[in-house]
Structure 1
Amino acid sequence: MVGLSSCLGLLLLAGLAWWVLRDDTYTAPVPDSPVASAQPDAAADALAELVDAVRSGDIGAARALAPEDDPAAAEALAGVVTNAGAARVEDVDLRYVDELGAVGDDGAWSAAVDTTWQFAGFDRTPARTEVRVGFVPDDAGGVAITGVGGGGRRTPLWLTGPVQVRRDADSLVLVDGPAALADRYAALADRAVPTVHRVLQGWRPRLVVEVPRSADALDDTLGAEHGRYAAIAAVTSSVDGSLGPRAPVHVFVNPEVFDRLEPRGARVVMAHEATHVATRAATADVPVWLLEGFADYVALRDVRLPLAVTARQVAQQVRRDGVPDALPGTAEFDTTTPHLGAAYEAAWLACRLVAQVAGEDALLAVYRRVSAGEPPGRALVRETGMTEAELTTRWQDVLRGLA
């Protein structure tokens, strides 16, 4: 047994020596072509050049950052510079973060880009969000920019391509559409400012209105799933989704709904959203019936229409389903609910009732107290003498009368 083991050991050693000394040692196969990979350093350089073009207003430099065979990308990048100048974009910065998804066979890829900007004179602090940017290698060994936006991420409207810009002392309007449409929205914004100021006299108007081309484009602007805002005319939101007390807050319009409104309805909706801007509703912790009802109160304050018109939808709902048990809440204001219009009217009637019982100043004081953190019930009692339960009962009586 010992001799056999010794022989086997010698054979193994001989085999190992043969494997080490043989001439045809194994070599890993070389692929026919190199595997494409992202070029973050070159992409960062391209982003820095785009920032320089925006800051200097150099449209030609922006165009040169697009692929030579992509005139649409060149037009979009030129539009970014034009938009920035017209809207007075400042504190702009674009910083490469990381790749998004796989690199294509042609070397094209997308990346998350940390984006900072603000509109001078309107935004008190810069907005900051991660935006999707497309890149592709160019023939000079660098990287070209193919486009901005998409991928389910927030996309600032001014970065998507040429838009119409209208700016005056009180309002800034950006519209992805024809000049006539931009003029219309600018006129609506200008009219909304004094409507809000009559009630909120301490507001320094800083109204920014952004109008993407379509409902889907609105979702892209806000980084929402498609269809999220399909049923509403406009939404007021912080630009980057943050909730800080100084976060920039703008009005974002769904043109597919808003453009179907008759003139008076369009004025009411714009004034409603401008009220949200003035009260910083997007970052306030206020019960939704007070938040939305107050905005409608301001927008409808000087509109002379019968309740049969301004409360038509909630009256129909009460006739069909009976009087609600409570003031409208978050569920009633879900943007996908079929009775969204009735919820707005119901909230407006509650705030209108407060003003009728205790006066407009009391309604305003209730809103301000609650926005500052005071419980709604305590604020109501202090300013109106009514408890929340008493307000609800009287509001239900109003609904019964309508129905």
Structure 2
Amino acid sequence: MAGRRCASRAGLSLVLLLAALVGCGGRAPSDTAAADVQRVLDRRAAAVLDRDAAAFRATGASAGAATGFANLRQVPLAGWSYRLTDLRRSGDRATADAELRYRVEGYDAAPVKADRTLRLTRAGGTWRVASDEPAGKDGAQLWDQGAVTAVRGEQSLVLGVGQSGERLRSFAELADHAVPAVSEAWGTDWSRHVLVLVPKSLEGMAGLLGSPASGYRGIAAVTIGEASQAKGGSPRPEAGGGSAKAPADRIIVNPDAYGVLGDFGKQVVLTHETTHVATRAHTTAATPLWLSEGYADWAGYRSGGRAPGQIAPELERAVAEGQVPAALPDDGDFGFTSDAGRLARAYEGGWMACRLIADHWGEVRLNDFYRAVGDHGRRTGAVDGALRDVLHTTPERFTELWREYLKDQLG
């Protein structure tokens, strides 16, 4: 006997939702818990978008249900919705898995997605939310960490938790300076605005990234993007901005490491990360970290007037000791948990490679080279092809030029 079919035909979405969440052989189709919970989540989402605290409280199971709502008060939202993906019920208690999709107004071209775990209770036949938290190892959202303060710049939006308005305004000023600097280096084919998140501490930054804090100690900021979510030199979310390919980028600051930098260092960091936002649509799996990180550093230091030895002290020391690297840094050299000297030399080596291209072939060719590598799509052959087609050289010749450039500039 084939057994009972979950749904005899493609019918109403409610039937399909129940079939998917309850399953064949589970509760009888008359159990509407999944549909009831989805309706509660829909009401909750509408309350967030409508800024309706009373409606939000009505979906909660306790007097403190509006805490999350209050944390969101200053966040400019253009979208907020939940999609129920699983429901585990035991009597009048249930645990729901849901996909949260939201957009920050003016900054996200497509929704950011976040997996959430919600616990619900039922009383008087009505389901209400008792808690709404990140699912598993999924990163927290900034408002999970406390009340968000928003500061708008001319070309930026800064969202912070546990930070003064004055400090957040300083980030907006740095970002507003970074945007035109990056456009001058890269061009204007990007959104030309940035969203900066400033948590309270290193631990808060790590929470947003869903990673241990030890992996980001000493890292002043990273850029994440909704379309990539891989982790690497700048959590490999390094790139982006505002296109369908790059719908949602955030610069996340480590306030502990950032706070010890001088004014010049702070500006370089924000310009570096803003470069990742600008270049995101042309940064793919084909792009090696020496190029993406080196280019971001090149843009960051481009108008700073600092000598190469001031920017690349680790490589300068290696050259002085006769230990000129034999090859460009590979992706493994950029790991945040790598030896500090090795990590510094990787960044410095990538920066010097991009500086070499700009000096020897010109800034336009550097940009063309970056785009050609990323547009190749696959790592194999991407750099070799761009060296041949854009710079009219070979990998061997380029590496030798780079090594000579290190000795000439840092010797």
- TM-score bracket, shorter-length normalisation: 0.7 to 0.9
* Residues 157/282 of structure 1: CA separation in 2 closer, same or farther (3 Å cut): farther
* Residues 361/66 of structure 1: CA separation in 2 closer, same or farther (3 Å cut): same
Could you tell me which residue of structure 2 aligns to residue 215 of structure 1?
Answer: 202
Could you tell me which residue of structure 1 aligns to residue 108 of structure 2?
Answer: 123
TM-score by length of 1: 0.78
Could you tell me which residue of structure 2 aligns to residue 189 of structure 1?
Answer: 175
Does residue 1:98 correspond to 2:86, yes or no? yes
Contact 2:198 / 2:252 at 8 angstroms: preserved in 1? Answer: yes
* Residues 83/225 of structure 1: CA separation in 2 closer, same or farther (3 Å cut): same
Contact 1:76 / 1:160 at 8 angstroms: preserved in 2? Answer: no
Contact 2:71 / 2:147 at 8 angstroms: preserved in 1? Answer: yes
Could you tell me which residue of structure 2 aligns to residue 83 of structure 1?
Answer: 74
Q: Take 2:203 and 2:123, find their aligned partners in 1: how far apart are those partners?
A: 31
Contact 2:87 / 2:97 at 8 angstroms: preserved in 1? Answer: yes
Contact 1:131 / 1:154 at 8 angstroms: preserved in 2? Answer: no
TM-score by length of 2: 0.77
Could you tell me which residue of structure 2 aligns to residue 52 of structure 1?
Answer: 46
Does residue 1:336 correspond to 2:328, yes or no? no
Aligned AA for 2:44? Answer: L
Report the Cα offset of residue 159 of structure 1. Answer: 5.6
Contact 2:78 / 2:105 at 8 angstroms: preserved in 1? Answer: yes
Q: Take 1:42 and 1:68, find their aligned partners in 2: how far apart are those partners?
A: 19
Aligned AA for 2:51? Answer: G
Could you tell me which residue of structure 2 aligns to residue 360 of structure 1?
Answer: 363
Q: Take 2:227 and 2:367, find their aligned partners in 1: how far apart are those partners?
A: 28
SS in 1 for 2:290: helix
Report the Cα offset of residue 139 of structure 1. Answer: 8.4
Report the Cα offset of residue 249 of structure 1. Answer: 2.2
Report the Cα offset of residue 298 of structure 1. Answer: 0.8
Report the Cα offset of residue 301 of structure 1. Answer: 0.5
* Residues 388/173 of structure 1: CA separation in 2 closer, same or farther (3 Å cut): same
Which of 239, 245, 257 lines up with 2:226 in the alignment?
A: 239
Q: Take 1:160 and 1:111, find their aligned partners in 2: how far apart are those partners?
A: 21
Report the Cα offset of residue 400 of structure 1. Answer: 3.5
Q: Take 1:222 and 1:351, find their aligned partners in 2: how far apart are those partners?
A: 29
Does residue 1:380 correspond to 2:387, yes or no? yes
Report the Cα offset of residue 302 of structure 1. Answer: 0.3
What per-residue deviation string (whole Å, max 9, x for no partner) do you get for residues 263-284 of structure 1? 1111101101111100106952
Gaps in structure 1 of 5+ consecutive residues:
1-38
Aligned AA for 1:91? Answer: G
* Residues 162/241 of structure 1: CA separation in 2 closer, same or farther (3 Å cut): farther
Q: Take 1:132 and 1:240, find their aligned partners in 2: how far apart are those partners?
A: 22
Q: Take 2:98 and 2:321, find their aligned partners in 1: how far apart are those partners?
A: 51
Could you tell me which residue of structure 2 aligns to residue 394 of structure 1?
Answer: 401
Does residue 1:61 correspond to 2:61, yes or no? no
Aligned AA for 2:220? Answer: A
Q: Take 1:61 and 1:161, find their aligned partners in 2: how far apart are those partners?
A: 21
Could you tell me which residue of structure 2 aligns to residue 308 of structure 1?
Answer: 309
What per-residue deviation string (whole Å, max 9, x for no partner) do you get for residues 96-120 of structure 1? 32358x98xx987754221111123
Contact 2:150 / 2:160 at 8 angstroms: preserved in 1? Answer: yes
Gaps in structure 2 of 5+ consecutive residues:
1-32, 231-243
Counting aligned pairs with the same residue, the percent is 29
Aligned AA for 2:331? Answer: T
Q: What does residue range 35-50 of structure 1 map to in structure 2 within 5 Å?
A: 43-50=37-44
Q: What does residue range 126-275 of structure 1 map to in structure 2 within 5 Å?
A: 126-136=111-121, 142-149=127-134, 151-158=136-143, 160-168=145-153, 170-178=155-163, 179-203=165-189, 204-239=191-226, 241=228, 245-275=245-275
What per-residue deviation string (whole Å, max 9, x for no partner) do you get for residues 154-204 of structure 1? 333246542111234522221112222211211111111111011122233
Q: Take 1:289 and 1:61, find their aligned partners in 2: how far apart are those partners?
A: 51
SS in 2 for 1:122: coil
* Residues 169/158 of structure 1: CA separation in 2 closer, same or farther (3 Å cut): farther
Q: Take 2:322 and 2:134, find their aligned partners in 1: how far apart are those partners?
A: 44
Aligned AA for 1:214? Answer: S
Q: Take 1:132 and 1:181, find their aligned partners in 2: how far apart are those partners?
A: 33
Q: Take 1:301 and 1:114, find their aligned partners in 2: how far apart are those partners?
A: 41
Contact 2:273 / 2:296 at 8 angstroms: preserved in 1? Answer: yes
Contact 1:42 / 1:143 at 8 angstroms: preserved in 2? Answer: no
Number of aligned residue pairs: give it. Answer: 356
